[in-house]
């Protein structure tokens, strides 16, 4: 599973890197040379969406989201199990609903035939890649739910080697 997390994180990282290159180059071209990259805004938007969705997938599995642990830390084992059950179940339900919604958004955009202005890039491609990231988040959320709720794995027993838990 750790290799899968690394692949997903690298995908998000490459999208952020590409977004940074597009943004920096566009700014230089626009303000220095009075020109622009065709559809740079659309490409940047797609890369940002893909990076966010794939980042959600890694955060979901690796439990690196922001948490408030006062109740959890001071509660006993029963309180911790209740918090785990509620938290991971709500997360799985939300990710499933998000995956359902974004998948149908892809079909709507595909059916509408939306394209970018300059290069006529079909917009469904970016939405599809972002949607795959959310579907990966659904899968990773289901795996974490299974590990924590069914297998009674401790919340801090997983993760990448070298990453502080």
Percentage of residues of the chain with pLDDT beyond 70? 88
Asked if residue 109 belongs to a domain, the reply is: yes
pLDDT at 111 over 60: yes
Q: Does 165 reside within a domain?
A: no
pLDDT of residue 73: 75
Instruction: Please name the residues in contact with 139: beta carbons below 8 A apart, sequence gap of 6 or more.
Output: none
CA 83 – CA 124 distance, rounded (Å):
38
Residue span of the structural domain in which 119 resides: 2-150
Q: Residue 79: pLDDT above 70?
A: yes
Number of domains in the chain: 1
pLDDT at 69 over 90: no
Q: Where are the alpha helices (DSSP H) in the chain?
A: 2-32, 40-62, 70-74, 77-112, 124-145
In a domain, 64, yes or no: yes
- In this predicted structure, what is the pLDDT of residue 119? 83
- Cα–Cα distance for residue pair 39/43, rounded to 1 Å: 6
pLDDT in tens, 35-62: 877 888 888 888 888 888 888 888 887 7
Beta partners for residue 115, in sequence order: 122
Report d(CA 100, CA 59) in Å as an integer.
19
Does a structural domain hold residue 24?
A: yes
């Amino acid at each position: 599973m750790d290799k899968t997390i690394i692949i997903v994180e690298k995908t998000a990282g490459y999208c952020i890197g590409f977004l940074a290159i597009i943004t920096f180059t566009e700014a230089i071209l626009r303000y220095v040379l009075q020109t622009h990259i065709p559809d740079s805004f659309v490409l940047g938007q797609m890369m940002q969406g893909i990076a966010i969705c794939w980042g959600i997938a890694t955060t979901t599995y690796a439990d690196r989201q922001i948490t408030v642990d006062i109740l959890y830390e001071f509660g006993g084992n029963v309180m911790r199990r209740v918090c785990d059950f509620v938290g991971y179940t709500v997360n799985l339900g939300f990710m499933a609903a998000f995956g359902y919604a974004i998948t149908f958004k892809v079909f709507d955009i595909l059916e509408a035939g939306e394209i970018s202005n300059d290069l006529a890039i079909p917009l469904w491609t970016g939405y599809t890649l972002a949607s795959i990231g959310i579907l990966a988040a659904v899968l990773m959320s289901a795996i974490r739910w299974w590990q924590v709720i069914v297998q009674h794995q401790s919340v801090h027993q997983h993760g990448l080697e070298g990453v502080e838990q």
